[in-house]
Amino acid sequence: MTTERERRFPGPRRGQLVFALGFLGLSVLLLVLIGDQTAWVKKTKLFAQPRFWPGVALGGMVLMGGLHLYRLPWRRTTRFDLNEARRWGQAVEYVAWFMAYVLLVPLVGYLPVTLVFVPLLTWRMGYRSRLMLWTSAGFALAVVLVFKGLLSVKIPGALLYEYLPGALRSFAILYL
């Protein structure tokens, strides 16, 4: 049963309610936590306060998110909403891959982690031939060589390197 207002809605319906609820919830959470994350400095003008502009932005997000939710012509989720939310959630997988990479580099090292993660992601994306896996490993090696050797990017040495013998340890910290 749809109402006249629901039928006249001009935009796409799928995911609107889930997005509005999620956006409003996140905005309210951030606004509630603003006191812990920013400071109010005494004897400082209002517009120069570290909390003022983030507070204005978050207040605007809560207001606009609330208005968006209020103006939606429907208040129930359908299977299309849940399918859309699941598609959005698939991007979170790659955030998890990146976070695992970032957490493992200081422990294991830039070269070994890169040599493992690039072929794994290549496999995950569906490129499963030997040629593609070897190409991705070669690309990973080239990335490490360019960043560490050519560009001299300072990436901290890994904890694993501490267990290597003296000269090998220094080489690993500098070049791997």
pLDDT digits over 37-83, tens only? 888 888 888 888 888 999 999 999 999 999 999 988 777 788 888 88
118-133 pLDDT tens trace: 999 999 999 999 999 9
* Full DSSP string of the chain: ---HHHHT--S--TTHHHHHHHHHHHHHHHHHTHHHHS---TT--GGG-TTHHHHHHHHHHHHHHHHHHHH-S-----HHHHHHHHHHHHHHHHHHHHHHHHHHHHHH-HHHHHHHHHHHHHHHTT--SHHHHHHHHHHHHHHHIIIIIIS----PPPGGGGGS-HHHHHHHHHH-
Sequence spans of domains, the chain: 1-77, 92-176
